[in-house]
Amino acid sequence: MISLQELYRQYTCLAPKPGEPVPLSAFKMSHAETEKVFSIFDEDYHISRFFHFRNEHGDKYSINGEMATHVVIDPDIRLVL
């Protein structure tokens, strides 16, 4: 499984600027792995407060039972890395 540090590193490479949404499909994981990884991080209170999922256009994923297409990861997540 991908680490939180690596996931955030990928996000910062993919996001046009901090706080911008990135399609979940851009992380280049399988559909099942994307749902699993983001669901695991979303279940952790200390981590989930930095993740903001959006349901817009694009590939749909079930993150803990909620549909999402994009994620914004708050830059303050660096405090827990």
- Report DSSP letters for 25-75, one per residue: GGG---HHHHHHHHHHHHH-HHHHTTEEEE--SS--EEETTEEESEEEE-G
Predicted pLDDT of residue 70: 98
Provide the residue type at 30 as one letter: S
Confidence label for 14 from pLDDT (cuts 50, 70 and 90): very high
Provide the residue type at 3 as one letter: S
Predicted pLDDT of residue 36: 98
pLDDT tens for 15-73 read 999 889 999 999 999 999 999 999 999 999 999 999 999 999 999 999 999 999 999 99
Predicted pLDDT of residue 1: 87
pLDDT at 75 over 90: yes
